[in-house]
Every structure is written in structure tokens, then in C-alpha cells.
Amino acid sequence: MSATTDIEAVPQTRYSIETVDLNLWYGDLQALADITVKVKQGIITSLIGPSGCGKTTLLRCFNRINERYGNVTTTGEITILGKSIYDSDVSLSELRKSAGMVFQRPNPLPISIYRNVLFGVRVHVPCRSVSRSQRDEMVESALREVDLWDTVKDKLNKKATLLTLEQRQKLCIARLLPLKPRVILMDEPCSALDAEGTEKIENLLDTLRDKYTVVIVTHNMAQARRASDECMFMLMGKLIEHDKTTEVFLNPKDERTEMYIEGRYG
């Protein structure tokens, strides 16, 4: 595959993510069926639905991580920042810089906090093109943005694995920021955290709103209602309803959405 196009250079639309008739199979098992959706820029969109409904699979389509697993077939269209991610001139490296992923379990590398923040930069940017002062500025800026700087500024050379779970998850978000993503994909980022840690990550999400397009998979209905501007409800690989979060929770248009939100199944 050619690696010539920087997806950030593509003219922008009001939607960060668009799919048309998206289908995905793991072998003979169809996990997504005819997903057509538009995700607006600069808001937080939550993906909700029972386990196995396709939420995480859909999220991983947006930066083509599903393809790592083999035996995956995808049809339909996905556009990120106005560019089809399946075009032959799209670089996977550039795509994953523009649409970064945060996973369920905080996964900092067993190296220093400083080197964790710069890991993506070291992978994607030639070392000689970034001075030490620029690297220092990147680290401080990213850690400030996730509200970690004051806590770790005197511990930057300490191993990141010594941080608390909540701090590790913040660090994983900070690790994306020097690459200047436009989209941040989060797969149940609070599932490993206690109530206090969850509150801090949700507070962080609120500060990321407007600067980034955030798509978050969550099983926590209260979290979806608190944290997101729009909400997508999925069931058995299909998108059932997509609307403003207040509408989905207070005035769902589909009976299946209402049943799920009320806890009658799932």
C-alpha cells in the first residue's frame, strides 16, 4: 500500500467520521451489518448496546485495527476527516496518527513517563527533526492537557507502570496528543477504574470536547448520559438509533432502544 497521503491534509467536512453500508465478517460470522452513520466533529459520541452487539468492532473499523486479527472481511465505505480510509494512497500509519485509540486496560509501556509520552513521536517522526526543547514542550503540553503535569513533573524519569490506574489511563491519552490527532477512539476507558478514577477521566473527557472528536464505547449508561453529546445504540451488529444523547435516553424512537435503556434486556 502506498503511504503518500497525509489524511490531515484532506479538506474537512462537518463530519469527522462517515460510514456507508459498512459490513464486517470474522470468517463466516457477520459482526456488523449495513452501518451508515455520520459522526460530527468536536463532540463526544458514545456507543452503547449489550455485549457482543458490535460496538468495539465498529470502533476498531475507524482506524482499521480489526485487520490485525486476520480472517476479517470488510465491505462498504468509511471516511475519516473527508478521506476514504481504504483509498490506495492512505497510509495506515498516518490514519492511526489522525485517529488514535485508547483501550480498556491502561497500557503504558514499561519505560519512563517521559518516553511514554514521546513514544508515538519517536515511531512516526524522524528523531533529528525534533529538538530536545521541542520534545520537552510536547511532554509538558500533553501532560498538562490530561491534568497530569503537576502530579508527575518531578517524576518524568520514573517508570510509567508505577502510576495509579487512573493516572496510567490519562498517560495513554497523553501519549496520543503529540501526534495531533483529530479523532480519539476510546474502548471502555473507565472499565478498569474505580468510581473516583472514572470521575476524573470523565472530567478529562469534558476538557477534550471541542478540541477533538471523541468516540467512546461504554457499558455504563450513566456515563454515556453524563459524558456524551450524541449516542449510538447498537444491537446484533446493527445501528438501531443515533441521536442527541438526551433524545436517546428521554425520547427514544425505537422500542428496542427504550428496552435496553430501561434494563429490560442486555
- Tell me: pLDDT of 171 over 80: yes
- Tell me: pLDDT of 8 over 80: no
Give per-residue pLDDT as tens, 71-118. 999 999 999 999 999 999 998 888 998 999 999 889 899 999 999 999
Alpha-carbon span 21 to 36, nearest angstrom: 5
**Residue 68: what pLDDT?**
86
Q: What average pLDDT is seen over the chain?
A: 91
Cell of 113: 513517563
- Tell me: pLDDT of 1 over 90: no
Q: Is residue 69 classed exposed, middle or buried when 0-12, 13-18 and 19+ CB atoms within 10 A define those classes? A: exposed
CATH topology of domain 14-261: Rossmann fold (3.40.50)
Give per-residue pLDDT as tens, 253-266. 999 999 999 887 75
* DSSP-assigned beta bridge partners for residue 183: 99, 213
Give per-residue pLDDT as tens, 224-239. 999 999 999 999 999 9
Mean pLDDT of 18-37: 97
Beta strand ranges found along the chain (DSSP E): 15-26, 29-40, 44-48, 72-80, 83-84, 99-102, 183-187, 213-217, 230-235, 238-244
